[in-house]
């Protein structure tokens, strides 16, 4: 290879501990496949500095726009995002070069006194900045014959868990993947079953982007593609297509998960993919929750078709009226 192997690749990342941990994992993998050093370039996004609740600012790429602009300007060579933060429309000037193997997609409960959700008292105060989580948590509590209060919160992992340790909240709900990547999986008092709460589309997955056009980008893109996990990519493509077809943003109360189908006996069918979706009112009083199962998509187009099929079924059941956002 040329002397360029000594020139560091510039990897753009948000400044949070979680983002730095995620980007560090990718950086080490990129160093192995390219033979080049990787330096992290910290970039502040609008979502990092805004004090508005996520439900107010979400849905417009607030955590990724600054990184994408730096890529387009050539200030960085690649960027790492939490895939659930990416808008569903991919800019032509940027390439989603890799979707590495997915971490645990579930939500995690961090509760006082080691409690599970079922063990929380009636009227428990649970912190979350996600309308999706609030909607399904309220519905879950109702199924258990109790009520909860969901409290909008912002901040990094330490800040959110601190609300529990300080006694301000009974529990908070976070992504299990984030806790695991920060080495804090043991903080979770319960990993929430996806039968109770479906995650955000793409939750647990990372996205590695690079520029589509500049000189040398084709070689970099080909190298980054070695990090891609085909199964994770088709799964998140189906989930994100569902979100796009509902014309819902990241802040809408939409959950989705594509996983290998498991029958009633608990046997996993490796050649069948199950896509589940849910849309609900924020108070959980009304949910539209459907699923579809088909062959594991062999291509991007097959994954898109699966997502579109389920979205149309959900719209036919009234999903559009539950989101508070424009739908088809």
Helix (H, G, I), strand (E, B) or coil at 34: helix
Q: Which residues contact 186 (CB under 8 A, 6 or more apart)?
A: none
Helix, strand and coil in the chain, % to nearest 5:
40, 25, 40
Spot the catalytic one: 77, 85, 104, 170.
85
Alpha carbon separation from 235 to 10, 50, 222, 259, 302 (Å, rounded): 29, 31, 21, 7, 11
- Measured CA to CA, the distance from residue 6 to residue 59 in angstroms comes to 39
Of the candidates 228, 226, 225, 219, the one whose C-alpha atom is nearest the C-alpha of residue 7 is: 219
Distance CA 77, CA 297 (A): 31
Q: Which two tokens stand for residue 35?
A: 């033979």
Q: Is 295 helix (H, G, I), strand (E, B) or coil?
A: strand
Q: Among candidates 27, 7, 11, 153, which has minimal Cα distance to 79?
A: 11
Beta strand pairing call for 171-175 and 268-280: unpaired
Strands (E), the chain: 9-13, 38-42, 78-82, 94-98, 107-111, 124-127, 148-151, 171-175, 190-191, 206-211, 254-262, 268-280, 287-295
170 is catalytic: no
Catalytic residues: 85
């Amino acid at each position: 290879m040329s002397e360029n192997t000594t020139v560091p690749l510039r990897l753009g990342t948000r400044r949070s501990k979680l983002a730095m941990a995620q980007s560090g994992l990718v950086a080490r993998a990129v160093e192995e496949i390219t033979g080049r050093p990787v330096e992290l370039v910290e970039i502040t996004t609008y979502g990092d500095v805004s004090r508005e609740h996520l439900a107010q600012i979400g849905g417009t790429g607030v955590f990724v726009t600054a990184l994408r602009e730096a890529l387009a300007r050539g200030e960085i060579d690649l960027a790492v995002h939490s895939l659930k933060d990416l808008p569903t429309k991919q800019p032509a000037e940027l390439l989603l070069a890799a979707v590495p193997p997915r971490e645990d997609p579930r939500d995690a409960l961090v509760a006082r006194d080691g409690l599970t959700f079922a063990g929380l008292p009636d009227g428990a105060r649970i912190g979350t900045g996600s309308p999706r989580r609030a909607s399904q948590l309220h519905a879950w509590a109702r199924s258990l014959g109790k009520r909860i209060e969901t409290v909008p919160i912002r901040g990094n992992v330490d800040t959110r868990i601190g609300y529990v340790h300080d006694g301000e909240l009974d529990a908070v709900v976070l992504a299990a993947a984030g806790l695991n990547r920060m080495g804090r999986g043991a903080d979770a008092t319960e990993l929430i079953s996806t039968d109770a709460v479906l995650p955000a589309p793409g939750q647990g997955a990372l996205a590695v982007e690079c520029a589509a056009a500049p000189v040398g980008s084709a070689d970099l893109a080909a190298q980054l593609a070695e990090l891609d996990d085909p199964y994770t990519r088709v799964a998140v493509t189906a989930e994100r297509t569902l979100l796009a077809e509902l014309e819902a943003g990241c802040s809408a109360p939409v959950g989705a998960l594509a996983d290998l189908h498991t029958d009633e006996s608990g046997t996993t069918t490796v050649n069948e993919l199950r896509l589940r979706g849910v849309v609900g009112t924020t108070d959980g009083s009304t949910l539209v929750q459907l699923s579809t199962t088909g062959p594991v998509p062999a291509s991007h187009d097959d994954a898109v078709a699966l997502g579109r099929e389920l979205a149309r079924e959900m719209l036919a059941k009234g999903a559009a009226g539950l989101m508070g956002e424009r739908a088809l």
